[in-house]
Structure 1
Amino acid sequence: MSDHDDSASTDGDVPRIIVRYLDSDDSAIEQLERGIEEEGVPWTVQRVEADESGSDHQRTDPTAVAHRAASDSGLKIGIGVSEDGELTLHHARLPEDDPLFTVANATAREARTVGTNAARLAKHMPLKPLD
């Protein structure tokens, strides 16, 4: 169900959660994907390129990356992953500076829960607490 796309293209015909990362640890992304997959929601993973349009802040701040991903997502849900492993879950209808969750130095369990919550948001289900 995952679509690993290293470009910044749109999500095609199937609405998907968009996960965008900035040269981060692959294990955090793996755990995010597991959480999303367990809930049965489609997603795509995209690397944020240095030449992507926008200011440096928009390319490097996980909250800005997550909001932009949410705006580009057919489901209006995006996750930004920073170089140091900070995870941000965002919805396109929220103000850019007010994400649903931000988790610094996320453990594997927390990363998986963020993925689960992104999928549950898409399914209009209650979110799981972050421990």
Structure 2
Amino acid sequence: MNASQIAMTKPTVHVLCSPDVPEKAFWQLLYGMEEEGIPCETWTKMEGDALSMAWEGAQASRLGVGVGMDGQDAVLHVSKFDFGQPLFRIPVRSAGQVRILGANAARLVKKLPLKPLEGR
């Protein structure tokens, strides 16, 4: 197995974002996951909303956790949940809440209690 194959099979949280995600929100999400020590991979998607991107990420992730972000919302989805039934959906304008969302994505993987988060 070469290095690129190893990288492709590494268990990570998948983060899919549209190009209009505020840069501050994007980085806060990643900082939240980094603080919990869980790796992620990020992709930019030209089409789709936060919910569909989160669902796609969760289905593709070996860890079963995906985050989708667009210019309005950040969504945390788990592969075992039905489409349209995310764990959290919050506005991206609240950088502090987005950071907690990132931490909670990592905490799901670690099976730790989730941090309180405003929103659904």
Name which of 11, 14, 17 aligns with 1:15: 11
Deviating beyond 4 angstroms after TM superposition, the runs of 4 or more aligned structure 1 residues are: none
Q: Which amino acid aligns with 1:113?
A: I
Deviations 1:2-53 (A, max 9, x none): xxxxxxxxx612100011101111111100000000000010111013xxxx
Decide whether the 8 Å contact of 2:55 with 2:66 is kept in 1.
Answer: yes
Name which of 83, 95, 102 aligns with 2:89: 102
Decide whether the 8 Å contact of 1:39 with 1:116 is kept in 2.
Answer: yes
Counterpart Cα distance in 2 of 1:94 and 1:121: 13
Normalised TM-score (structure 2): 0.87
Partner of 1:80: 68
Counterpart Cα distance in 1 of 2:98 and 2:92: 9
Decide whether the 8 Å contact of 1:87 with 1:106 is kept in 2.
Answer: no
Structure 1: state its 5+ residue gaps.
1-10, 50-58
Q: Which amino acid aligns with 1:115?
A: G
1:60-71 aligned at under 5 Å gives the runs: 60-71=48-59
Identity %, equivalent residues: 33
Partner of 1:8: none
| RMSD over equivalenced CA pairs, Å | 1.2
Alignment coverage as a number of residue pairs: 111
Higher helix share: 2
Normalised TM-score (structure 1): 0.80
Whether 2:76 is the aligned partner of 1:92: answer no
